[in-house]
């Protein structure tokens, strides 16, 4: 007997839908075994080691970026230009063995520039669909808040649904499909803020910030980032990424961790618009992915704390320091 689902890709006993795993009902709660995971541990270590040679002094952010990919969620960077967002996205796509496209958003960009358009073929006397740059596996949506809300909506709908619809015909996006979006601070001119409902589509919001003095000196001494990226070796195949996304769902959580997450959610709701149930599920999924990266088959409170600020801050409208202070008010019981 199977749980009700729409099957896209088969990976052994796992069935993957946009990073969401569906398995046999009898296997739905069976924990992943160490034998399943141990084959990926060296690759995960190599992945983080190589990307940290490109993105200097940002090991926590690169680990969270990998966490977002394995959790099957999209990633939002809020940073000033020139701090390495495009370099990080290019490095991730190369190491993960995934196709990569970049869209530079502008205020005159149309939805069809992103998802594609039906064009008339005069030779064959019929319309043909011309795929937009969204038909890739990793999409860098650069300066997403410079385009109009209508164009933002077209991208964010595709992120949620995993497909686009043009003139009544539905086209599926590749597997896996991961969006890394960047937005400029709202004090810069020509920006359109993302509504809360659209921010909620992103699993995490991160900020790279400026590197340390030592890292910046090393940056000056090394070759260009482009040359270093070209030398990166592919570590994962895209089927392995899908398999890891399946395994994330099988990482177990104890009642103590569940209660801790519920306590955190309740704390965010005191006197404000707090974390929604969808946000709480995002927190769980992120903690599971983080535990997998940490080579554990179960989630502990440290995993929840490691991802809490990145998952929650943009959902409740607080800054990173305020969200961290809120988290520190909640003790771990048990």
What residue numbers bound the domain in which 316 lies? 251-334
One domain for residues 45 and 79: yes
Residue 51 confidence (pLDDT) above 70: yes
One domain for residues 141 and 158: yes
Q: How far apart are CA 42 and CA 9, in angstroms?
A: 26
Give me the sign of the Cα torsion angle 18, 24, 30, 36: negative
CATH of the domain at 118: 3.40.50.300
One domain for residues 245 and 148: yes
Give me the sign of the Cα torsion angle 109, 110, 115, 120: negative
- Asked, for residue 5, whether it belongs to a domain, the answer is no
Model pLDDT for residues 258-296, shown as the tens digit of each residue: 999 999 999 999 988 889 999 999 999 999 999 999 999
CA-to-CA dists, residue 312 to 13, 125, 273, 319, angstroms? 33, 51, 12, 10
Burial class (CB in 10 A: 0-12, 13-18, 19+), 167: exposed
One domain for residues 215 and 134: yes
The pLDDT assigned to 291 comes to 96
Residue 20 confidence (pLDDT) above 50: no
| Total number of domains in the chain | 2
The pLDDT assigned to 188 comes to 53
Residue 304 confidence (pLDDT) above 60: yes
One domain for residues 284 and 240: no
Query: Do the Cβ atoms of 162 and 173 come closer than 8 Å?
Result: yes
- Asked, for residue 134, whether it belongs to a domain, the answer is yes
- Asked, for residue 296, whether it belongs to a domain, the answer is yes
Out of 215, 250, 285, a domain closes at: 250
One domain for residues 86 and 168: yes
One domain for residues 136 and 156: yes
The pLDDT assigned to 148 comes to 79
Out of 202, 232, 250, a domain closes at: 250
The pLDDT assigned to 299 comes to 96
One domain for residues 168 and 227: yes
Residue 224 confidence (pLDDT) above 70: yes
The pLDDT assigned to 288 comes to 97
Query: Do the Cβ atoms of 304 and 264 come closer than 8 Å?
Result: yes
CA-to-CA dists, residue 112 to 122, 129, 150, 228, 296, angstroms? 20, 11, 11, 34, 44
* Residue 12 backbone dihedrals phi, psi, to 5 degrees: 65, -125
Out of 203, 235, 250, a domain closes at: 250
One domain for residues 221 and 321: no
Q: Which residues pair with 204 in a beta bridge?
A: 75
- Asked, for residue 40, whether it belongs to a domain, the answer is yes
One domain for residues 203 and 232: yes
- Asked, for residue 23, whether it belongs to a domain, the answer is no
The pair of three-digit structure tokens given for residue 237, joined into one six-digit string: 């195949």
CATH of the domain at 296: 1.10.8.80
- Asked, for residue 2, whether it belongs to a domain, the answer is no
* Residue 133 backbone dihedrals phi, psi, to 5 degrees: -65, -10
Q: Rg of the chain over CA atoms, in angstroms? A: 20
Model pLDDT for residues 77-121, shown as the tens digit of each residue: 887 778 888 888 888 888 988 888 888 888 888 888 888 888 888
One domain for residues 176 and 166: yes
One domain for residues 162 and 78: yes
């Amino acid at each position: 007997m199977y749980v009700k689902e729409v099957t896209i890709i088969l990976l052994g006993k796992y069935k993957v839908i946009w990073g969401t795993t569906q398995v046999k009902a009898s296997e739905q709660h069976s924990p992943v075994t160490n034998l399943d995971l141990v084959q990926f541990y060296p690759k995960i270590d190599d992945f983080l080691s190589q990307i940290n040679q490109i993105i200097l002094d940002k090991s926590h952010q690169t680990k969270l970026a990998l966490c977002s990919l394995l959790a099957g969620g999209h990633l939002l960077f809020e940073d000033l230009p020139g701090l390495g967002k495009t370099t990080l996205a290019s490095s991730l796509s190369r190491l993960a063995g995934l196709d990569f496209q970049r869209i530079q958003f502008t205020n005159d960009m149309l939805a069809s520039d992103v998802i594609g358009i039906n064009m008339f073929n005069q030779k064959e006397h019929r319309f043909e669909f011309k795929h937009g740059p969204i038909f890739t596996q990793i999409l860098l949506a650069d300066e997403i808040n410079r385009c109009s809300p209508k164009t933002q909506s077209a991208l964010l709908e595709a992120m949620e649904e995993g497909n686009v619809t043009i003139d009544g015909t539905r086209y599926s996006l590749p597997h896996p499909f991961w969006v890394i979006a960047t937005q400029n601070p709202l004090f810069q001119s020509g920006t359109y803020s993302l509504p809360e409902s659209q921010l909620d589509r992103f699993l995490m919001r991160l900020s790279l910030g400026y590197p340390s003095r030592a890292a910046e000196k090393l940056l000056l001494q090394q070759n260009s980032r482009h040359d270093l990226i070209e030398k990166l070796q592919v570590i994962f195949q895209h089927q392995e990424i899908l398999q890891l996304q399946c395994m994330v769902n099988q990482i177990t959580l104890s009642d103590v961790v569940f209660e801790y997450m519920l306590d955190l959610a309740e704390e965010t709701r005191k006197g404000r618009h707090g974390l929604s149930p969808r946000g709480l599920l995002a927190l769980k999924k992120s903690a599971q992915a983080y535990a997998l990266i940490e080579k554990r088959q179960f989630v502990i409170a440290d995993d929840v704390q490691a991802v809490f600020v990145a998952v929650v801050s943009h959902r409740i409208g607080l800054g990173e320091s305020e969200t961290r202070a809120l988290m520190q008010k909640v003790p771990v019981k048990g």
